[in-house]
Structure 1
Amino acid sequence: MAGRPPTPCRRAWYPLAALLVALVMGASVGAAAHAAPKPDAKELRRQLAKQQKELDALIGDYNAKRVSLAAARKTEQAAQARLRAAQTKYEQAKQGVRELVTLRYQQPDPNLTMFSGGADPSTTLSRAAILQQLAAEEAALVAGFAKTRDDYADSVDDAAQKVKDLSAATAAVGERREEAEDLIEEIKDKLDKLTTPTSRRSDGTWVPELPSGPDNITPRMRNVRDLIRQRFDLSYGVGCYRGVNDGGEHPLGRACDFMLSSGGAMPSPEQARLGDEISAWVIENAQRLGIMYVIYKQRIWHVRTGAWKPMSDRGGVTANHYDHPHISVY
């Protein structure tokens, strides 16, 4: 049975469909043709050199603001000292005025005394001289009080301004520090990408390596150890080869312990955070660096599972890996 001829509506749709297909194919080809190529090592190094200049400028600005901040703190402290001194003078002057007012109130008016019938002239003149002297001292003290009051007000304003300047300088230093730290992390990430994995097969598995060199570890483990040393501020030792065969990777030259404290002491919160950062970075780069597993804080992370799992209690800070991350490679 012959098929029905296409209706006029269908005949009109065919060219439109062909046009849509052509447009979609063209867009796909165009997108593929214009896709930005991944930067090669040369381009990454060029970017790094440029970012290093930006970082140097940021660090210079950060340091200048740190110096300004220190100066602002000194100025603010000096203003606070002047303010305290002015406050003391102010209170002393007020007390002096109060005492003079009280004394003046207690003394009789010399004009009335001089013309009273039974007054002794010598006593009257003596009292008048005393009151005249008191009046002069009162005038001087009031004038000093007014100056101290003005100095106090100026000190209050100066101290308030210095506090504002200090707050602004602190914020500027913090902002520059964050910018510099972000750029440092970006540079570190690009440096990580420049590191070429060693002895990797086409299927993604890792070729076994023999230990070498005076440190008795494999090139892969040495690469990971050196990268961690470059990236993190390690205050304590890194222990790699260990001859005791306890079923681990140390005798094979495929493991290193990155110590956070010494003498089996529990690390401080800051030291423990460093261990967290090292572990997180190693896990993030595990596929690229040939990491097999990480042990830290009585837990183990294995590349096959991609998750932390608890470990049994081995009876001590070091045995339970609280004072160091243990890193093993293939």
Structure 2
Amino acid sequence: MEARSSARRRRAVLAVAAAGILALPLAGAVPADADPGDSGRMEKLNRQIAKLDRAYGGDLAKLKDAQFGVQKAMKSADTLRKERDDAQRLVAQLAANQYMTGGGDPALTAISSDDPSGFLNTASLAQHLATNQAARVQQVQKLIDQQEKARKEAEQKIEDLQKEIDDLKKQRKRIQALVKKYKPQSPSVGMGGVTPRMLHVKQVIDAEFGPFPTIGCTRPGDPQDHGTGRACDFMESSGGSMPTATRQQNGDQVAAYAISHASSLGIKYVIWRQRIYDMRSPGWRAMENRGGITANHYDHVHISVF
């Protein structure tokens, strides 16, 4: 009789605790999801980028990097939205099930049974349930905050990309005159697959600042300048390691030389230490994080030519 009474008390407390969890408020209202129109805006921006790319000598490095940043931010916001929704559904389901059945977490099945020799008393059982569920609610709130931050970042990056496109459009005459200055060249047999202009830049840079651990140029299948023989990577270290202070200084000198002699050498843009300098829109611009030393150009100076 006493055992049955104890079990009833336990189930009653569990029901009350679960009901309390259902009533736990989140710190703020769930923010709006990413505007469905963002995808449509990006499609329009992508078409503008493709048009400018053809008109301005191809491979607009700064613009392509900004485009990459938008895509990454939109993907992050979408992933966090799905995680948030999944977590919210889980908390709601668990709380509802516990309220309806008077049961606890699976881990508490044994101690909430009719056996009066359970490990926890009624008060500690309720406290455990409340603490466990409150933690889940806090996790949902954290995901809500993260998703809102990612959504705002994606929107800001879209706005920034539009501004960059508008700025390039305003400079159409200057950029087209710059592009027209350099006659298009094709990769030549016997030159390692690079264009005569790229070969000349490679020889000049190597003579001024070499030797380099390696110089990599053509990359079959690359959708950008490596694939057309118009780019070379001047490595300052090997194996994906960070260059020494001396080699970093050498890279700084290579980048500075390429920029200052860009007009005479026909250089289109330079990438070094996660920054891009495009002659069509002069000035260093921070590059989106690509996830590694080589991908972020910390171990090599990338030089592309017209």
TM-score bin (small chain):
0.3 to 0.5
> Taking CA–CA contacts closer than 8 Å with sequence separation of 6 or more, which of the two structures ends up with the larger relative contact order?
2
Larger Cα-atom Rg: 1
Normalised to the residue count of structure 1, the TM-score between the two structures is: 0.38
